[in-house]
């Protein structure tokens, strides 16, 4: 079985300050991990993915995430928040033993204050 826990349902930062969205996962096999962003009433956009290559993954819009196997974590970071980053963020795990099904975390709503 696989699961994903996003530790914060809401995160609020000021524009220009760093962003940290936390994600822990569990998976019996080597997982693939993704971060998706969902803007209000929009679909899901892939930010970045980890697929057993480099543990530090760079994505779009200045986001990056680091896969830490020992901590079973895949936290999403960005050095400087922008107003347009305000959205819902989902950490997602997939593994071959789960039939490549995606398992979503509960989401973290990022709010950016001016």
Partner 1 sequence: NAGVMQNPRHLVRRRGQEARLRCSPMKGHSHVYWYRQLPEEGLKFMVYLQKENIIDESGMPKERFSAEFPKEGPSILRIQQVVRGDSAAYFCASSPPWGRELLGYTFGSGTRLTVV
Which residues sit at the interface with partner 1, rule CB under 8 A? 32, 34, 36, 41-46, 49, 51, 90, 94, 96, 99-107
Cβ nearer to partner 1, comparing 99 with 114? 99
Compare residues 19 and 105 and give the one whose CB is closer to partner 1: 105
Tokens 């993954």 correspond to 57
Q: Which of 41, 101, 103, 90 is nearest to 63 (CA)?
A: 90
* 15 vs 44, beta carbon nearer partner 1: 44
Contact present, 36 and 46 (Cβ < 8 Å) = yes
The secondary element (H helix, E strand) that includes residue 3 is: strand 3-6
Nearest approach in angstroms of CB 88 to partner 1 is: 9
CA gap 52, 16 in Å, rounded: 31
Nearer to partner 1, 39 or 113 (CB): 39
Task: Quote the CA–CA distance of 80 and 32 in Å, as a whole number.
Answer: 26
């Amino acid at each position: 079985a696989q699961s994903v826990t996003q530790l914060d349902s809401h995160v609020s930062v000021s524009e220009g300050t760093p962003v940290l969205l936390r994600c822990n996962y569990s998976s019996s096999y080597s997982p693939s991990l993704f971060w998706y962003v969902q803007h209000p009433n929009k679909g899901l956009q892939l930010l970045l993915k980890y697929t057993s290559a480099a543990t530090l993954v760079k994505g779009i819009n200045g986001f990056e995430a680091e896969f830490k196997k020992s901590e079973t974590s895949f936290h999403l970071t960005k050095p400087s928040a922008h107003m347009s980053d305000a959205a819902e963020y989902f950490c997602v795990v997939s593994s071959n033993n789960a039939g490549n099904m995606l398992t979503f975390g509960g989401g973290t709503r990022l709010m950016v204050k001016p």
